[in-house]
Structure 1
Amino acid sequence: MRGCGCTPHPCIPTGVSRFQDWFLMASQRSRPLPGYHGPPTYGSLLLLLVEKVCQPGRKPQRLDENVVLYQEWELDACVDAALLEASMDRVNELPFTYQQLRIFKCKLDQLYPLGYPESLIGHLGYFFLEMTPEDIHKWNVTSLQVVKSLLIISKGREMDEQVAMLVKRYVAGGGHLDPDTVQDLATFLPIYVCSLSPELLGHVQESVIWKIMPQHLVGCSLQQKDALYLKARQAFQHLNGSEYLLKIQPYLDRASTEDLRDLIGRNLTVNVTTLKLLQPAAVKPLTVLEMQRLLGPNLPELKAETGASPIREWIISKPQSDLDKLGLGIQGGIPNGYLDLHIPD
């Protein structure tokens, strides 16, 4: 029988020198090894190490308190993965150690190398806490009830990445979260936000918006960013100038012209790096004076980025005479005496 092989048994060594040490320790035990009579010999210990076979009468037909007393190598050798799958309720009820649970997980991983079926996922219970994001990535979850039950189990247990992957797999399979479930997600780090539809993002609590970091927005669509930007403006509207800018900055790539003018009206300035993230359609209508006020002390940085969007689009839409007033030597504006005839797309 092939052992689980997830991690070496803590009582069975993996090297020759360690095996010799283990033999000296084991040879002093008064109780015979399972399946052997008399004190352990070097040969019997080596055979046990190599074979790890289940001894007669030790293969359980059901999970009960006796199995809890099995040594880890016995669990590996004697407990069948199909029995575990059929007995997940007992796995959660009985006081198995973390090491024993890892052996059980390894057996189930071997039974389902391509990912657990939903029939098993729905019965994992607290065994879900043993899962990694990589495990969950293999799953096909279609039941909202399963998602909800696993969210309840995960609360307060540092399962943010696992929960994010669970939501991602559910949505990727065509599942639709409801507003109540979105509310339940509020207790986890918002790694999951890019998995929610723009409509559901409207139900996200403001407390979640406060926890969002720039890296959490990577992978969001423009529609998702639009929804999050509206939520962020609402959540941060009562902050003072510098605090507001700090919190709203990750969302500014979805700001409108009026939003930028609002920043100008609040005497808030951005650097050219942030300017380059803005939508050309939002930046282009700004006057030269408004651009000067938006950049503030960062205005000299504009000269080195005249070829970057949206700065390029802004420059070619402005009279050269207005650009000259900046004193930066920026060229490319509308020559004096010409009109900018804007033709709608």
Structure 2
Amino acid sequence: MLPLYLTSTFYNNFDKKTKRAFLKYFLKVIKSNGVGRQKRKRLRREIRKSIKKKSKRSLANECTVGNITQVTISDDTFPFDYDDITQFNCCLSATTVKNNLDSITGKVDEEEYLKIVLSKLKEAYAGNTAIPENQVQLLGPASRVATTVDINRWNVTKIDTLSALMDSANGQWDLSLARAIITKYLSTEKNKLGSAELNVIGGVNLCSLDTDVLKSISHESLKDASALTVSNCTTEKKKELFTIAIQAFVENTRTTTISDSNYQLLQPYIGGANSEFVRTLAASNINMDMATFISLDENVVMGLNVNEVKNLLGTNLPDLKSYESQTLVQSWIRNQFQSELDKLGLGLVGGKADPPATTKSPAATSKSPAATSKSPTSTTTKAPAGNHGNHIRADAGFSFLVLLALLFTSQHVL
């Protein structure tokens, strides 16, 4: 299967006739071996690139290579002979696209070619308000080059149509376009986000929907659906999906421990768990792996202490060291005291310094005998509180007597 990985530089060494013969043969080989569309697409792209380097784009506005018909499309190498996109556009009619859409989208891979196919299809149904649902189901990779305006003209009312459009084999969706398609489907009366819809939409595209739409998912639907990958959801959306998942997989929401089987069912949605639930997991011996740990809400992780993380990871605790440079783990480490991290025995560094010990000196905490014993000579006798007035009057009387004595003495001398 080496040719699948060769670049246009290699194919530049061969003429167009040789490349065509090789492509026709090798495409049959890889199809019989179940090689996926994306790898076949890469092979076609590299060979076409080697041809385009040697050919100039046609300036003619008429078909000179040959009109594209059902027979032309049936050739395994189609659209190899239309390496000039101008010729592809001129030689492909709207009627041919309308009548052979499935065959065309099964072989055409390059975006610029697919845009022409989609344009021709719109031209074929120019007189209609919408493109029929049976045609929408055949768009394949051409759907990925559509715009919101294009999608508004599609009929998307059946689960089969939604399934065909969401097929990941045709490439990943731009999330704004995925949202437009799902919203169009849900606008049909009685259509909802049931388990079948959740399975065909997938977690990545589900995250494109508004939180209010996600709230409409019943816990029965989530329970019956396959596990969804919702890591690209916003924190708010993860919390909403986790709330639904709790109702779906945990019978007693007030339980103080979570069984291993329930944890496995909840694991895809654990990124929306709150601190209380994560602490419940820490007490449940669930041995959380590091990939799940770093998917937790950052605020929740930052609120966990060293012992709680130890209990949460369980037998996977040694893996914490290998994730030491991961952003969330680094932030958590910086939030812990280094002495606590050292107790894990993993060699984690970067924690906070321990606070300084607060010890009281003996001089400050004990009183000296001199300070606590009173000298007999320093003892004073306080007058009763009620005799302050008498004490003042006695002092005044004494002074008065002294004054009289001096006055009497002075007169006696004279």
The alignment-based identity, stated in percent, is 22
C-alpha separation between the residues in 1 aligned to 2:173 and 2:323?
Answer: 39
Which residue in the other structure is 1:292 paired with? 310
Structure 2 counterpart SS, 1:263:
helix
Which residue in the other structure is 1:18 paired with? none
C-alpha separation between the residues in 1 aligned to 2:290 and 2:263?
Answer: 15
Cα offset, 1:287, TM superposition = 2.5
Which residue in the other structure is 2:271 paired with? 253
Greater shift in the superposed pair: 258-267 or 307-316: 307-316
The 1:133/1:195 distance shift into structure 2, 3 A limit, reads farther
Which residue in the other structure is 1:72 paired with? none
Cα offset, 1:84, TM superposition = 8.4
C-alpha separation between the residues in 1 aligned to 2:77 and 2:332?
Answer: 70
Cα offset, 1:269, TM superposition = 1.9
The 1:236/1:194 distance shift into structure 2, 3 A limit, reads same
Contact 1:198 1:223 in 2 (8 A): yes
* CA displacement 1:290-331 (0-9 Å, x = unmatched): 122111122233334444333333333333443343334444
The 1:260/1:115 distance shift into structure 2, 3 A limit, reads farther
Which residue in the other structure is 1:220 paired with? 233
C-alpha separation between the residues in 1 aligned to 2:330 and 2:175?
Answer: 40
C-alpha separation between the residues in 2 aligned to 1:113 and 1:314?
Answer: 53
C-alpha separation between the residues in 2 aligned to 1:322 and 1:12?
Answer: 66
* CA displacement 1:124-162 (0-9 Å, x = unmatched): 23232322143353143588795543x255378796458
Q: 1:124 aligns with which of 116, 124, 132?
A: 132
C-alpha separation between the residues in 1 aligned to 2:118 and 2:164?
Answer: 26
The 1:253/1:170 distance shift into structure 2, 3 A limit, reads closer
Cα offset, 1:238, TM superposition = 4.2
Matched, 1:337 2:356: yes
CA RMSD of superposed structures (Å): 4.8
The 1:307/1:165 distance shift into structure 2, 3 A limit, reads closer
The 1:180/1:136 distance shift into structure 2, 3 A limit, reads farther
What runs of 5+ residues in structure 1 fail to find an aligned partner?
Answer: 15-76, 92-98, 340-345
Q: 1:195 aligns with which of 208, 223, 227?
A: 208
Structure 2 counterpart SS, 1:323:
helix
Cα offset, 1:231, TM superposition = 2.3
Cα offset, 1:10, TM superposition = 5.4
C-alpha separation between the residues in 1 aligned to 2:352 and 2:76?
Answer: 77
Greater shift in the superposed pair: 178-187 or 281-290: 178-187
Cα offset, 1:260, TM superposition = 0.9
Query: Structure 2 length normalisation: TM-score?
Result: 0.48
* CA displacement 1:64-123 (0-9 Å, x = unmatched): xxxxxxxxxxxxx9x973x789xx8xx8xxxxxxx69747999x9857538737865724
Which residue in the other structure is 1:35 paired with? none
Q: 1:233 aligns with which of 234, 246, 249?
A: 246
Letter in 2 for 1:257: S
Letter in 2 for 1:3: N
Letter in 1 for 2:201: P
Letter in 2 for 1:181: N
Cα offset, 1:11, TM superposition = 9.6
C-alpha separation between the residues in 2 aligned to 1:172 and 1:324?
Answer: 52
* CA displacement 1:231-283 (0-9 Å, x = unmatched): 22322224972233323223333332212112123321212333233333211
Matched, 1:322 2:352: no
Contact 1:278 1:310 in 2 (8 A): no
Contact 1:115 1:136 in 2 (8 A): no
Which residue in the other structure is 1:19 paired with? none
Which residue in the other structure is 1:181 paired with? 191
The 1:199/1:11 distance shift into structure 2, 3 A limit, reads closer
Q: 1:302 aligns with which of 320, 334, 344?
A: 320
C-alpha separation between the residues in 1 aligned to 2:208 and 2:353?
Answer: 44
What runs of 5+ residues in structure 2 fail to find an aligned partner?
Answer: 1-62, 79-90, 109-113, 253-257, 359-414
Greater shift in the superposed pair: 282-291 or 246-255: 246-255
Q: Report 1:91-106 matches (<5 A).
A: 102=103
C-alpha separation between the residues in 1 aligned to 2:201 and 2:73?
Answer: 37
C-alpha separation between the residues in 2 aligned to 1:196 and 1:318?
Answer: 37
Tell me how many residue pairs correspond in the alignment. 261
Contact 1:141 1:170 in 2 (8 A): no
Cα offset, 1:338, TM superposition = 6.8
The 1:152/1:292 distance shift into structure 2, 3 A limit, reads closer
Structure 1 counterpart SS, 2:345:
coil
Contact 2:118 2:142 in 1 (8 A): no
